[in-house]
């Protein structure tokens, strides 16, 4: 691995040719819409640490880390060694493994609210399991979620994920907007939408369905909403409302578990009943998990009669993902968390200085080791303030393309960065330089917006 690695196909195909081949067998030529860029996606050849090299030899600094899933960057030696040792013993069995027990112990010891835990294969599955467990425990069908929040691809979880001014309705009663054409009306009827961080409006909305809501689902630092933390007052109000109305308060920490040693919930003074996990706990492999109160998690206990929720999956708790995850999280100890968060704060300070030098109306939000750029002078405080119209999207895409093509810097397509422990001050300085150049490039277009 590393700079000496050579892909035997590199001299045979360029990225455009490979994409044309892909379009013959894959709809749109890709299996993840988020990796597409005009005129074709870039194809990775190999990666190590905080650098990723494509099949044409371009080497870039990776500030995306596969959508926040790689906390130590690519191919960390300790993770690679542990995985290779397990691969030699087998990749999946129709049997339980010690790897599952050891990782479960580690995570439950790490977070006070994790009394029990179950493993699945993705963040989407974890959220799906969390919703189903909430329904099984409460006997209710409706869920409540924040407008604009991304919680994976389960029908109920994706409602109002991409609502816009044409369909989102009044802020005091947001519409439940389908993401996929053909979503059943019954799904929409069972998802209550509220505005994130708006205590008064949210409680008024929830009160209308007080005896029907199984869970109130929150991402404590929702990326798509704007990547700003939930206000303590807001989270406290939701916690008290769920206690009063016999509902569950559930957190989606698939992305935000990186924020602190015990996840973003360590920064909150309320404890969720259930938490969905994914991304970094897989150490670079597919994974998901659901953790929380013992009495709620008992709905999945096959020893119970009646069993309220039978949960299984062919690759759930596979020893490859859980071995990689355990080693990854052992390495992501308190010292590593604090160092990474401090490096991120340093980067944000430098980037804000670059924004001043460029003299552009751009702001930054974030928490822990993640942050997001906004084409606004003041940081947005709601999904509707975060929302980008067509022109704003064109400008942010131009900015991201500049970073990718001219600065050899990879960020997430929302204009977000998710740091890894593989980064050093050198890469941080390169990010600052590249962003300053990119801001200067888009400045004329930004000035037309005002």
Q: What pLDDT was estimated at residue 296?
A: 98
Do 59 and 111 belong together in one domain?
A: no
pLDDT tens column, 217-242: 999 999 999 999 999 999 999 999 99
Query: In this structure, are 430 and 365 located in the same domain?
Result: yes
Same domain, 174 and 268: yes
Q: Residue 34: which domain range?
A: 15-71+333-449
Residue 10 lies in a domain: no
318 & 342 share domain: no
Structural domain ending residue among the three candidates 331, 350, 380: 331
What is the rounded (10 degree) CA torsion for 402, 406, 409, 412? 20
Domain boundary among 276, 311, 331: 331
Range 312-324 average pLDDT:
97
Contacts by 5-12, CB closer than 8 A, 24 or more apart:
5/45, 5/46, 7/45, 7/46, 7/55, 9/55, 10/45, 10/55, 10/56, 10/57
Classified as helix, coil or strand, 412 is strand
* CA angle (266, 271, 274) in 5-degree steps: 110
The per-residue pLDDT for 1 is 42
CATH number of the domain encompassing residue 62: 3.90.1150.10
pLDDT tens, residue by residue, 186-214: 999 999 999 999 999 999 999 999 999 99
pLDDT in tens, 102-146: 999 999 999 999 999 999 999 999 999 999 999 999 999 999 999
In a domain, 3, yes or no: no
Q: What is the pLDDT of residue 12?
A: 52
What pLDDT digit, counting tens, does each position of 398-425 carry? 999 999 999 999 999 999 999 999 999 9
Q: Is the pLDDT of residue 5 over 50?
A: no
Catalytic residues: 150, 252, 279
Q: What letter would DSSP give residue 74? A: B
Tally of structural domains, the chain: 2
Please give the biggest Cα pair distance in the chain. 66
Report the pLDDT value the prediction gives residue 38, as an integer from 0 to 100: 86
Distance (Å, whole) CA 146 – CA 97: 37
pLDDT in tens, 263-306: 999 999 999 999 999 999 999 999 999 999 999 999 999 999 99
Residues 180, 277 within the same domain: yes
> Residue 367, class by beta-carbon neighbours within 10 Å (0-12 exposed, 13-18 middle, 19+ buried)?
buried
Question: Does the pLDDT of residue 397 top 70, yes or no?
Answer: yes
Among candidate residues 306, 331, 356, the one where a domain is terminated: 331
**pLDDT value, residue 7:** 46
Query: Does the pLDDT value for residue 358 go beyond 60?
Result: yes
How far the first Cα of the chain sits from its last, in Å, is: 48
Q: Phi and psi of 367, rounded to 5°?
A: -165, 145
> Is the per-residue pLDDT at 448 higher than 50?
yes
Distance CA(184)–CA(173), nearest Å, equals 20
The C-alpha atoms of residue 46 and residue 55 are separated, in whole angstroms, by 8
Q: What is the pLDDT of residue 9?
A: 47
Cα–Cα distance between 426 and 415 in angstroms, integer?
21
pLDDT tens-place string over residues 61-116: 999 999 999 999 999 999 999 999 999 999 999 999 999 999 999 999 999 999 99
The answer to the question of residue 4 being in a domain is: no
């Amino acid at each position: 691995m590393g700079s000496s690695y050579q892909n035997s196909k590199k001299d045979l195909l360029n990225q455009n040719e490979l994409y044309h081949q892909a379009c013959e067998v894959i709809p749109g030529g890709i299996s993840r819409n988020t990796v597409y860029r005009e005129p074709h996606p870039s194809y990775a050849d190999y990666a190590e640490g905080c650098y990723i090299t494509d099949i044409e030899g371009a080497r870039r600094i990776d500030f995306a880390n596969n959508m926040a899933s790689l906390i130590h960057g690519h191919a960390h030696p300790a993770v690679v060694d542990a995985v290779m040792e397990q691969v030699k013993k087998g990749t999946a069995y129709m049997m339980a493994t010690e790897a599952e027990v050891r990782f479960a112990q580690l995570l439950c010891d790490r977070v006070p609210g994790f009394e029990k835990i179950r493993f699945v294969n993705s963040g989407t599955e974890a959220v799906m399991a969390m919703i189903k467990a909430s329904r099984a425990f409460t006997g209710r069908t409706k869920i409540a979620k924040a407008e604009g929040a991304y919680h994976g691809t389960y029908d109920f979880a994706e409602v109002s994920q991409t609502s816009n001014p044409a369909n989102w309705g009044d802020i005091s009663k947001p519409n439940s907007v389908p993401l996929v054409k053909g979503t059943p009306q019954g799904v929409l009827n069972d998802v209550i939408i509220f505005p994130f961080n708006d205590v008064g409006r949210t409680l008024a909305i929830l009160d209308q369905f007080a005896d029907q809501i199984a869970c109130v689902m929150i991402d404590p630092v929702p990326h798509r909403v704007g990547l700003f933390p939930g206000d303590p007052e807001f989270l406290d109000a939701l916690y008290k409302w769920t206690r009063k109305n016999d509902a569950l308060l559930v957190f989606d920490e698939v992305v935000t578990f990186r924020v602190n040693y015990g996840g973003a919930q360590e920064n909150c003074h309320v404890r969720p009943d259930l938490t969905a996990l994914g991304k970094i706990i897989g150490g670079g492999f597919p994974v998901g998990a659901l953790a929380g109160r013992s009495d709620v998690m008992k709905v999945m206990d096959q020893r119970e009669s009646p069993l309220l929720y039978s949960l299984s999956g062919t690759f759930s708790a596979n020893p490859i993902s859980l071995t990689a995850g355990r080693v990854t999280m052992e390495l992501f100890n308190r010292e590593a968390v604090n160092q990474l968060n401090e490096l991120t704060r340093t980067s944000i300070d430098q980037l804000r200085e670059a924004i001043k030098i460029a003299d552009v109306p751009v702001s930054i939000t974030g928490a822990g080791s993640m942050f997001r750029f906004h084409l606004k002078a003041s940081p947005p405080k709601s999904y509707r303030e975060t929302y980008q119209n067509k022109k704003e999207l064109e400008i942010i895409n131009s900015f991201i393309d500049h970073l990718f093509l001219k600065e050899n810097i990879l960020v997430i397509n929302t204009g977000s960065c998710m740091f890894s422990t593989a980064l050093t001050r050198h890469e941080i300085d390169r990010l600052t330089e590249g962003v300053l150049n990119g801001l200067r490039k888009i400045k004329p277009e930004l000035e037309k917006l005002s």
